[in-house]
């Protein structure tokens, strides 16, 4: 029996050096003169990653994302390509048994490379989005080190950045098959090395004589999804000089909740593969009765089966195996007659698309499973159901798709065409797209093979705001044509039925199951005809999102707005000159123009005003005193802005719109626009505004009509539910209280319930709070909760400034669980102020708000009296600190004293490293942190449960802090040990 096949990732021990500083050839580096350590010119390399990532890691150049430091790094247009042509070197061990083969695999390189292994040279062809596999069986050293050196060349046409910047610089990068954002955009500074490097996984794989290549998995459904078939086709390559008598096995399992595996299918087929040949083999379909279906986020669970394929050879044993998670699901779409927008269905159910645009995780391509996990979980936490991978960015990696599979995010994947760079930019450039059309198509087909088995992948799109050149577009239409039984013909489509026996098996197609759309503004997106009808991309009056005149088309693929992070992020990513807030320049017409400092301007700051159309939304709260005050007020605006955007779109679900994608969800650098979390992974308040608005079942206020609406995006009818609407003024009283009972809400519908008439009442207050609760009448379980701060027409929020002086008492109860470096904390925050006529406080937020016996454990509740010692904190208020350095379990209770009655407004948790030697401006945050909610407010008597989870670096003690609008700089710090 031969030694089992194996796959080894080469992600450690890499060295790098500038090619012009290395005196040896590739042959010499991999035979007689290998580098032995990270001594000049060699340095520790960032692989996977880029040349610039390696230079930053070794502090050869400063962090390009900090302040204006990117301007100090020489651009490839000025240095020449040789400056960013680098050697990468590593070594590995690999011992083969008889009849085993070894492949050296590069999942992606930018842009081309010369590979040397043990003195033997192989040239890797051009193209950023293609895999390379080299059979190195005959050149391995069976004993000792195998020396690997890779000379990586930058893109052929890196371009030059015009003085005025622009979308994609001078557009020259579009002549290559590479990512286009690297020449800079209106949201991104240029990347100086144009992402040159070994930017994706490097591995060696050992197999027997026969190798499994690119299996394709497809599910088909019958009888209303009760019966399903799994179709499988794979390529098999026999590298031996004799006919291989094989048995090919497919095993389908599902992992159960108790970590056991249930084997659903095990099937084996015998076949012969001629010597030195590569064949395609279709495995007989596997039948499933009522399989667990994969659903998008908000529609159901993301059931994933594991499909494992192995091949055994007579006289040898197992030669190779392959496995992949697979979800049984069917995605269809058509242009909706009512709205003109593209309407998606998953497993026969319409899905209203609410998601965002994605560029890439990091501008230096420091990609990792851990970072991807956080990125995608953040999107799921916002209740999004789709991510659009923008055409100027990446064909995203399998790890990205893995977490989209896991969390239920549908993915719109574009190819590498943008209107700005490919024929529609200023100046017009590259009307024929990349110079090498065959290379583009090769990369596209290889990308399809890499990603097609992921259930989250929903559609392919030819380009951003542009279609590919005619020959490329025609080829993609042909290559990605749908199998006839996966074509959608609209609302009156035939039911899911049997596949025609005359048709090819769907797994024999390159894809065959996902639609190809030629461009992001065509065929049910924007106006459907390619005109620039996406956007807008700046601050809006919140009520405008609810007006029919705001956007004219059924599906908007891009609509964007502001994205200011918290003050701690500004201090962590900019020198003190960047801490200056904008100058608010009053214009003759009464509007305000924001003039940002040069560092903010370089980081693409979007103002919170739009002269002639939108008054400055930060100044609605009064003049910003300093950076902390500005950023806090920006978070208030972020929350309102993005909640209104999604609620406005959802208010016209199916009647006017089929979906919306926000531009953008994050930035691949320290940008200051269009983001819900910053590059350091701290969420803005807009994150939680989206999380609120995109709930599957949601109660909301139409800001244009002031009607209370309920959105039910699920397939289940709601009955016996009620809505409670309570208004709270700044004095802590409840002048308006209404309950609408015995409601029934149809599935997939928006229902207007009643007008919220407080603004029309006698002597309404100019600024007030509104709390909406949708609850089940039988047990008072909260289904949806939505909290607004509002002002009367023509007023502003300046009365909230003196409201900061209110001292609202809080009770904070917590339970902590620590598993190795992961902390999970359950917190309940209660506004303990009371009013005699408080009706709304009888319900806590959801069934989870009631503390169960398991939460309390066996310990009694005990109020811990905290010391009144002082500690320096940067900012305009002191924080309430809770330090969890004590027991691993048990309940902790802390009280924040206060004598006023009212709403505890805009409460915000954060997690920090406990430090005694704190320096001004130092960033003590532990990031990322996952919160079940944040930037929340509590009416008198109300309790909010919050779950907090995070990982702590070794040797660091975490401290959880709570701050809020009502806690000024005089507030004493509270710590619980």
Tokens of 741: 């009972």
CB 145 within 8 A of CB 31: no
**Distance between CA atoms of 47 and 584, rounded to whole angstroms?**
45
Q: Tell me which H or E stretch contains 79.
A: helix 76-79
Which residue has tokens 């060295």? 15
- Give, in order, the Cα–Cα distances in Å from 857 to each of 179, 612, 818, 865, 944: 54, 59, 15, 21, 20
**Distance between CA atoms of 653 and 351, rounded to whole angstroms?**
10
**Distance between CA atoms of 659 and 336, rounded to whole angstroms?**
11
How far separated are the first and last CA of the chain, in Å rounded? 59
**Distance between CA atoms of 254 and 251, rounded to whole angstroms?**
10
Strands (E), 101-193: 101-106, 112-117, 120-124, 132-135, 146-153
CB 332 within 8 A of CB 487: no
Length of the chain: 977
CB 909 within 8 A of CB 812: no
Rounded to 5 degrees, φ, ψ at 28 are: -65, -40
Q: Is 558 marked active-site? A: yes
- Pick from 487, 313, 294, 500: nearest CA to 406: 294
Q: Following CA atoms 361, 61, 111, 476 in sequence, which dihedral angle do they give, to the nearest 10 degrees?
A: 30
CB 939 within 8 A of CB 829: no
**Distance between CA atoms of 184 and 191, rounded to whole angstroms?**
7
CA dihedral sign, ordered 470, 474, 480, 486: positive
β-pairing, 457-461 with 410-414? parallel
- Give, in order, the Cα–Cα distances in Å from 134 to each of 112, 202, 526: 14, 12, 44
Q: Taking the CA of residue 9 as centre, how many other CA atoms within 13 Å lie in the half-sphere pointing to its CB? A: 7
Rounded to 5 degrees, φ, ψ at 279 are: -125, 155
Tokens of 277: 């040949």
Of these residues, 172, 237, 399, 558, which one is catalytic?
558
Side by side, the strands of the sheet bearing 943-951 are: 891-896, 810-819, 822-831, 943-951, 929-931
**Distance between CA atoms of 468 and 524, rounded to whole angstroms?**
18
- Give, in order, the Cα–Cα distances in Å from 819 to each of 172, 494, 562, 827, 956: 51, 51, 38, 17, 15
CB 236 within 8 A of CB 216: no
- Give, in order, the Cα–Cα distances in Å from 154 to each of 132, 203, 421, 547: 17, 22, 19, 49
All residues at 6 or more sequence positions from 481 whose CB lies less than 8 Å from its CB, including other chains:
509, 512, 516
Of these residues, 332, 465, 594, 647, which one is catalytic?
465
Tokens of 100: 């085993």
**Distance between CA atoms of 571 and 628, rounded to whole angstroms?**
10
β-pairing, 15-18 with 210-222? unpaired
Q: Following CA atoms 499, 502, 504, 506 in sequence, which dihedral angle do they give, to the nearest 10 degrees?
A: -10
CB 129 within 8 A of CB 446: yes
Q: Is 257 marked active-site? A: no
Q: In the chain, what's the furthest Cα-to-Cα distance?
A: 93
Catalytic residues: 465, 558
């Amino acid at each position: 029996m031969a030694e089992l096949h194996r796959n080894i990732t080469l992600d450690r021990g890499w060295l790098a050096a500038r090619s012009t500083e290395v005196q040896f050839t590739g042959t010499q580096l991999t035979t007689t003169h290998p580098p032995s350590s990270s001594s000049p010119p060699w340095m520790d390399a960032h692989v996977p990653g880029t040349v610039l990532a390696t230079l930053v890691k070794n502090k050869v150049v400063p962090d390009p994302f900090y302040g204006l430091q990117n301007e100090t790094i020489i651009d490839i247009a000025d240095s020449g390509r040789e400056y960013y042509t680098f050697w990468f070197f590593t070594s590995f061990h690999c011992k083969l048994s008889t009849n085993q083969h070894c492949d050296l695999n590069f999942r992606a390189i930018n842009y081309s490379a010369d590979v040397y292994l043990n003195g033997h040279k192989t040239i890797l062809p051009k193209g950023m989005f293609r895999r390379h596999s080299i059979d190195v069986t005959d050149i391995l050293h069976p004993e000792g080190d195998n020396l690997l050196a890779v000379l990586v060349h930058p893109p052929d046409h890196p371009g030059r950045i015009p003085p005025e910047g622009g979308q994609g610089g001078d557009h020259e990068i579009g002549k290559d098959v590479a990512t286009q954002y690297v020449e800079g955009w209106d949201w991104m500074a240029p990347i100086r090395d144009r992402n040159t490097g070994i930017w994706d996984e490097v591995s060696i794989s050992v197999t027997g004589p026969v190798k499994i290549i690119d299996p394709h998995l497809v599910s088909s459904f019958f009888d209303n999804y009760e019966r399903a078939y799994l179709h499988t086709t794979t390529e098999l390559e026999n590298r031996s000089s004799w006919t291989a008598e094989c048995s090919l096995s497919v095993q389908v399992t599902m992992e159960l909740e108790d970590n056991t595996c249930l084997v659903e299918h095990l099937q084996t087929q015998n076949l012969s593969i001629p010597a030195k040949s590569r064949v395609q083999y279709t495995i007989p379909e596997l039948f499933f009765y009522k399989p667990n279906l994969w659903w998008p986020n908000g529609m159901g669970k993301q059931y994933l089966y594991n499909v494992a394929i192995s091949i055994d050879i007579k006289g040898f044993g197992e030669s190779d195996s392959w496995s992949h998670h697979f979800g049984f699901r069917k995605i269809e779409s058509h242009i909706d007659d009512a709205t003109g927008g593209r309407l998606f269905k998953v497993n026969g159910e319409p899905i209203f698309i609410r998601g965002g645009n994605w560029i890439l995780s990091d501008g230096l391509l420091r990609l990792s499973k851990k970072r991807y996990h956080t990125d995608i979980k953040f999107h799921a936490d916002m209740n999004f159901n789709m991510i659009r991978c923008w055409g100027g960015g990446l064909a995203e990696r399998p790890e990205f798709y893995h977490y989209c599979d896991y969390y239920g995010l549908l993915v719109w994947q574009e190819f590498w065409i943008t209107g700005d760079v490919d024929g529609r930019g200023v100046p017009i450039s590259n009307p024929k797209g990349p110079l090498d059309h065959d290379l583009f198509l090769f990369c596209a087909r290889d990308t399809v093979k890499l990603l097609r088995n992921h259930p989250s992948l929903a559609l392919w799109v030819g380009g951003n705001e542009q279609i590919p050149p005619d020959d490329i577009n025609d080829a993609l239409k042909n290559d990605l044509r749908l199998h006839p039984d996966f074509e959608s013909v609209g609302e009156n489509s035939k039911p899911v039925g049997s596949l025609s026996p005359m048709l090819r098996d769907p797994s024999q197609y390159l894809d065959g199951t996902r639609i190809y759309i030629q461009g992001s503004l065509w065929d049910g997106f924007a106006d459907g005809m390619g005109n620039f009808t996406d956007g807008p991309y700046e601050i809006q009056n919140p009520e405008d999102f609810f007006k029919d005149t705001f956007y004219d088309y059924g599906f908007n693929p891009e609509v964007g707005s502001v994205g200011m992070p918290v003050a701690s992020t500004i201090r962590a990513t900019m020198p003190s000159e960047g801490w200056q807030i904008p100058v608010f320049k009053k214009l003759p017409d009464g509007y305000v123009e924001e003039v940002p400092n040069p560092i903010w301007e370089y980081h693409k700051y979007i103002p919170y005003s739009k002269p002639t159309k939108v008054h400055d939304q930060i100044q609605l709260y009064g003049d910003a005193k300093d950076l902390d005050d500005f950023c806090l007020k920006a978070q208030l605006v972020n929350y309102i802005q993005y909640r209104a955007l999604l609620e406005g779109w959802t208010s016209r679900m199916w009647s006017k719109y089929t979906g919306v994608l926000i531009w953008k969800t994050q930035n691949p650098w320290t940008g200051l626009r269009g983001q819900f979390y910053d590059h350091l992974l701290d969420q803005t308040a807009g994150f939680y505004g989206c999380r609120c608005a995109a709930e599957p079942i949601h109660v909301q206020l139409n800001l244009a009509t002031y009607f209370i609406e309920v959105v039910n995006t699920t397939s289940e009818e709601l009955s016996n539910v009620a809505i409670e609407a309570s208004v709270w003024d700044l004095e802590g009283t409840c002048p308006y209280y209404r309950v609408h009972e015995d409601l029934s809400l149809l599935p997939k519908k928006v229902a207007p319930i009643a007008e919220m008439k407080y603004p029309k009442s006698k002597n309404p207050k100019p600024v007030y709070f509104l709390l909406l609760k949708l609850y089940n009448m039988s047990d008072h379980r909260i289904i949806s909760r939505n909290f607004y701060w509002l002002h009367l027409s023509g007023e502003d929020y300046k009365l909230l400034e003196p409201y900061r002086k209110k001292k609202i008492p809080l009770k904070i109860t917590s339970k902590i669980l620590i598993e190795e470096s992961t902390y999970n904390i359950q917190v309940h925050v209660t506004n303990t102020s009371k009013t005699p006529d408080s009706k709304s406080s009888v319900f806590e937020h959801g069934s989870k708000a009631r503390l169960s016996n398991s939460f309390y454990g066996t310990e009694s509740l005990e109020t811990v009296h905290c010391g009144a010692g002082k500690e320096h904190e940067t900012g305009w208020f002191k924080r309430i600190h809770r330090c969890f350095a004590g027991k691993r379990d048990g309940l902790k209770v802390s009280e924040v004293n206060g004598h006023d009655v009212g709403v505890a407004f805009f409460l915000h948790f954060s997690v920090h490293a406990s430090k005694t030697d704190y320096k001004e401006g130092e960033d003590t945050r532990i990031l990322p942190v996952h919160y079940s909610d944040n930037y929340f407010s509590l009416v008198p008597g109300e309790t909010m449960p919050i779950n907090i989870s995070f990982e702590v670096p070794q040797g660091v003690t975490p401290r959880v802090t709570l701050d809020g609008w009502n806690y000024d700089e005089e507030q004493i710090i509270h710590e619980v040990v």
